[in-house]
Amino acid sequence: MGCSDIAAPARSIAIGAALISEGSTDARAGNPAASGSALHSSKLRGSLVCVGLGMTLGAHITPRSRSTIEQADVVFLAVSDALVEVWVRQMHRDVRSLQAYYGEGKSRHLSYRQMVDAMLDEVRAGKRVCGAFYGHPGVFALAPHQAIAQARDEGFEATMEPGISAEDCLYADLGIDPGRFGCQHFEASQLMFYQRRLDPSAYLVLWQVGLAGDRSHQRFASGPAYLQLLVDLLAEDYPLDHPVVIYEAATLAISQPRIERLALKDLVHTALHMQSTLIVPPCQPLRHNPRMHEQLDALDRMSGVARGHPHHKENPA
């Protein structure tokens, strides 16, 4: 099981056209998709490239993703913001939104199947298909991975172009280095449905926290009672007054990210959205592994290596 959603339902935001023309269009150098060679080299003529648009409109798209969009025969689009759709439509005349496949009360798994089918139908028809997804197309996103796997199974060339994900943005906005104490990522519902082992000396990032506990795969928000179950589960490893962060990256260059710090127990009473991600900082210091150190000491002695300073800070800030 992976993350179950690709994008939240589209929201309409009115904004001036100046913002949506940001970013370079001249990006073809070094891009195999731009020359068409990668897209035409497979045995079968159709092809699929899933690209990431990044999180902030116009500011995060890579040159390769932009030129892949521009060179495609048809572009399928999964974004959570109506304005992003307007922006992508400026890059290509045949942009087809995948948002229509979502519906309140409709299984998201059915929606994903239909999205994959829509893209694959055009690949089979011999088209150069681009699937454009907000963020990174391979991060907590089911349909791009499934579409690429299916296209390859059927003998078509299919690749993924990375994008700037919510994860990348949170490291920048919150000043978190995942290498400092380690960082574990889970889809919030998956953490609830399965028996997992959390490491409270590392960061914990919970995706789709606004849908925590939804087994219907049909809802767009979870109620307080569902969130209370998530809090109860986390309370097995973290104190109830442990500070956590609700994070929402800015999707427009003129807006600010939401960075809301609160106690774990107060999560139940806080507004959570489809685009909310929960960050739980470590609550325990790193603990030495004496057995491993003894083994390393023995090895170092044998090879004459001097012991340096410990690489990792041992206590969460």
Ligand X SMILES: C[S@@+](CC[C@H](N)C(=O)[O-])C[C@H]1O[C@@H](n2cnc3c(N)ncnc32)[C@H](O)[C@@H]1O
Using CA atoms in the order 210, 216, 219, 223, what is the torsion angle rounded to 10 degrees?
Answer: -50
Two tokens, residue 3: 């993350």
Among 207, 245, 246, 280, binds ligand X (CB under 6 A): 207
By CB under 6 A, residue 267 contacts ligand X:
no
Does residue 102 interact with ligand X by CB under 6 A? Answer: no
What is the residue type of 252?
Answer: L
> Does 135 sit near ligand X (CB under 6 A)?
yes
277 binds ligand X (CB under 6 A): yes
As a whole number of angstroms, the distance between CA 127 and CA 107 comes to: 29
CA distance 52 to 162: 6
Per-residue binding string, ligand X, 41-60, x by CB under 6 A, is: --------------x-----
108 catalytic per annotation: yes
User: How far is Cα 119 from Cα 76, in angstroms, rounded to an integer?
Assistant: 7
Residue 189 engages ligand X in binding (rule: CB under 6 A): no
Q: Which of 102, 112, 140, 203 binds ligand X (CB under 6 A)?
A: 140
* 247 part of the interface to ligand X, by CB under 6 A: yes
Interface with ligand X includes 173 (CB under 6 A)? Answer: no
Query: Of the two residues 55 and 234, which places its CB atom closer to ligand X in the complex?
Result: 55
Burial label, 292 (beta-carbon count in 10 A; 0-12, 13-18, 19+): exposed
Let me know if 113 is a catalytic residue: no
Q: Out of 101, 102, 134, 238, pick the active-site residue.
A: 134
Any catalytic annotation for residue 112? Answer: yes
User: Per-residue x/- marks for ligand X, 103-132, CB under 6 A?
Assistant: ------------------------------
* Coil, strand or helix at 206: strand
The nearest distance, CB 275 to ligand X, in angstroms, is 4
- When binding is defined by CB under 6 A, the residue of 61, 132, 136, 203 that contacts ligand X is 136
d(CA 79, CA 165) in angstroms, rounded, equals: 13
Q: List the interface residues with ligand X, window 142-171 (CB under 6 A).
A: 165-166
Interacting span for ligand X (CB under 6 A) from 43-51, 215-223, 224-232, 274-282: 274-282
3 lies in the site for ligand X, by CB under 6 A: yes
Burial of 89 (0-12, 13-18, 19+ CB in 10 A): middle
> What distances in angstroms separate CA 140 from CA 56, 136, 149, 166, 245, one per listed residue?
18, 9, 16, 10, 19
CA distances to 142, 229, 247, 314 from 167, in Å: 17, 25, 10, 24
Angstrom distances, CA of residue 192 to CA of 159, 176, 219, 233, 270: 32, 25, 16, 7, 19
| In the complex, least distance from residue 133 CB atom to ligand X, rounded to whole angstroms | 6
Residue nearest to ligand X (CB): 135
Sorted by sequence, the CB contacts under 8 Å of residue 173 that are 6+ apart come out as 247, 249, 257, 259
Contact between 82 and ligand X per CB under 6 A: no
Under rule CB under 6 A, residue 84 binds ligand X: no
Chosen residue from 139, 147, 202, 245 binding ligand X by CB under 6 A: 139
Which CB atom, from 112 or from 181, has the smaller least distance to ligand X? Answer: 112
Contact residues for ligand X (CB under 6 A)? 3, 5-6, 55, 135-136, 139-141, 165-166, 207-208, 247-249, 251, 274-275, 277
Which are the catalytic amino acids? 108, 112, 134
